[in-house]
Amino acid sequence: MRKIFIPISAICILISSCSTTKTTQSKTADVSKYMNSITANELSDHLYLVASDAMEGRDTGTKGQKEAGKYLIEQYSKNGISFPPGAENWYQKVPSEFMAKGFSPKLPDSENIWAFIKGSEKPEEIVVISAHYDHVGMKNGEVYNGADDDGSGTVALLEIAEAFKMAQKEGFGPKRSILFLHVTGEEHGLHGSRYYSENPLFPLKNTVVDINIDMVGRRDYLHPNTNNYIYVIGSDRLSSELHTINEEMNAKYTKLELDYKYNDRNDPERIYYRSDHYNFAKKGVPAIFFYNGNHDDYHKASDTPDKIEYDALAKRAQLAFTLAWEIANRPEKIKVDRDGK
């Protein structure tokens, strides 16, 4: 057998190369880093614009709501996030006729707004994160700003999207696609989410979850001494995994008190049926609803940005982000193993 002499320097280069390759391949994302990019200051900056008097209370189909929508689109564009493939633009039109309901006032045409980050491995599987960007408008010349309802959820989506985009730029994009869905007409009957669920851009069979964020910037009557909580609604109705994953993410990252009061099947207020996640759940899509509960400024002109507790808003948005991150990146889709009741 012929002897082969390899210089020591070459051996060192080979070892170094293998070591470098192994390190690169085993590199993992620092989820806390991206989670902590969701900050109280940035949420405040967004909300003082989205819930400003200039937006005139963002009633469905009004000039003020459309101006708020333009601001959302500007922020997504600034962060290099586009509208979804298959869509012609940022808007899903929701026709006036679709929103006609009994003796309710006739609403103008309106729009859902969508933004999208494509998954790296399973792009056809979609994680939806939703919030409604409409409010109740103006009454007797007074602006009802809707800072908590649901300006808080609206700006949470902006920050969550920015965190996912930051991760993607650093080589840790989500394995499944993320659809950021700002729905319209919630205050008049969950119209925007109903329209999307009946006219989905992506098949609902490929929609893994809806994470719905509606009123997450305040504390309610039942938690006067702390804002370190969040009501969790619907997480166990269709998927036991969704419920478990949310608890695991909270225990690992945010350590909020998870309050299931309004998840009670006998809840007299029927909160489970009163926000946009419900239109996904009706179609068999696992859904979870984050909510801070009611307060004295609900649906009043006094629901203003200065009343928001931005530390709480940030922490609750961070929980939604970590939940979405885990669901988007786990090997298998969460299973539907319950009947929705």
**Of all residues in the chain, what percent carry a pLDDT higher than 90?**
90
Determine the structural domain holding residue 121 and report its residue range.
31-329
Q: Which helix (H) or strand (E) holds 66?
A: helix 63-78
How does residue 104 score in pLDDT terms, banded at 50, 70 and 90? confident
Residue 293's CATH number: 3.40.630.10
pLDDT digits (tens, 9 = 90+) for 221-266: 999 999 999 999 999 999 999 999 999 999 999 999 999 999 999 9
Whether 151 maps to a domain, the answer reads yes
Residue 20 pLDDT more than 80? Answer: no
Q: Rounded to whole angstroms, how far apart are CA atoms 37 and 79? A: 13
Structure tokens at 17: 């190369």
Q: Smallest Cα–Cα separation from 147: which of 21, 43, 231, 71? A: 43
Q: For residue 10, what pLDDT is reported?
A: 44
pLDDT band at 146 (very low <50, low <70, confident <90, very high): very high
Average pLDDT estimate for 89-96: 98
Residue 27 — pLDDT band, cuts 50, 70, 90?
A: confident
**In sequence order, what DSSP letters do the residues of 142-201 get, joined into one string?**
EE---IIIIIIHHHHHHHHHHHHHHHHHTT---SEEEEEEEE--GGGTSHHHHHHHHS-S
Please count the structural domains in the chain. Answer: 1
- The answer to whether residues 112 and 126 touch, using CB atoms and an 8 Å cutoff, is no
Is 37 a residue whose pLDDT tops 50?
Answer: yes
| Dist. CA 329–CA 193, nearest whole Å | 25
Half-sphere exposure of 244 (CA within 13 A, CB side): 6
In a domain, 46, yes or no: yes
- Given a cut of 90, whether residue 297 has pLDDT beyond it is yes
- Do 329 and 175 contact (CB within 8 A), yes or no? yes
Residue 7 scores a pLDDT above 90 = no
Could you write out the DSSP letters of every residue in 220-244? -TT-TT---EEEEESTTTS-HHHHH
Q: What are phi and psi of 124, to 5 degrees?
A: -80, -15
d(CA 162, CA 76): 8
Q: What does the pLDDT look like over 176-200, one tens digit per residue?
A: 999 999 999 999 999 999 999 999 9
C-alpha dihedral over 38, 39, 45, 50, to 10 degrees? 40
In a domain, 296, yes or no: yes
Nearest-CA neighbor of 173 among 109, 117, 129, 235?
A: 117
On the question of pLDDT at 300 being above 70, the answer is yes
The answer as to whether 228 is a domain residue is: yes
CB neighbour list of residue 21: distance below 8 Å, 6 or more residues apart: none
Cis, bond preceding 276 (omega within 30 deg of 0): no
Q: Is residue 100 part of a domain?
A: yes
In tens, the pLDDT along 223-233 reads: 999 999 999 99
pLDDT at 75: 98
Is 305 inside any structural domain?
yes
Q: Is residue 338 part of a domain?
A: no
Domain membership of residue 215 (yes or no) is yes
Answer yes or no: are the C-beta atoms of 254 and 319 closer than 8 Å: yes
23 pLDDT band, cuts 50/70/90, is very low
